[in-house]
Amino acid sequence: MNDNFTKINVDIQIGDTRSIHAFYKKIIHLRKEKPLIVHGEYEEVETNNDDLFAYSRRYKNEILLVVCNFSNETSDFMIPDSDDFKGIPEILITNYSRQKYFKDSYLLPYEGIGLLYTR
């Protein structure tokens, strides 16, 4: 058993709304709530940055853009110039406490974000 088991354990995670446990619960809930996540057509999105991975899913009138920063540094990311990604999206999920995400923005170290566009 790891020495830090008294500080990092399931009991503590369950009570913390910012924990990995809470994040995974939210992901599972979204998967059940949004057919887009299960049935949407997958397309990789070019990031021009080896530290970032991005993809979109399209289903009916919704487009989900997921961008993940796998670096310990902040990384710039510009949302693709496409009619699909016009306007300010709803932040469906993030592991930081962002309120808005703009076309020309950045991702914090190890940030992942799901942006929902509705047409």
pLDDT at 15: 78
Q: Where are the domains of the chain?
A: 1-33, 37-118
pTM for the model stands at: 0.86
What are the pLDDT tens digits along the chain (119 aa)? 888 888 888 888 887 887 888 888 999 999 999 999 999 999 999 999 999 999 999 999 999 999 999 999 999 998 888 888 988 899 999 988 877 776 678 899 999 999 999 98
Amino acid at residue number 119? R
* HSE of 95, CA atoms in CB hemisphere, 13 A: 18
The DSSP result for 8-64, as a single string, is SSHHHHHT-TTSHHHHHHHHHHHHHH-HHHHHSEEEEE--S-TTEEEEEEEETTEEE
| Domain at 37-118: CATH architecture | Sandwich (2.60)
Radius of gyration of the chain (CA): 16
pLDDT at 88: 85
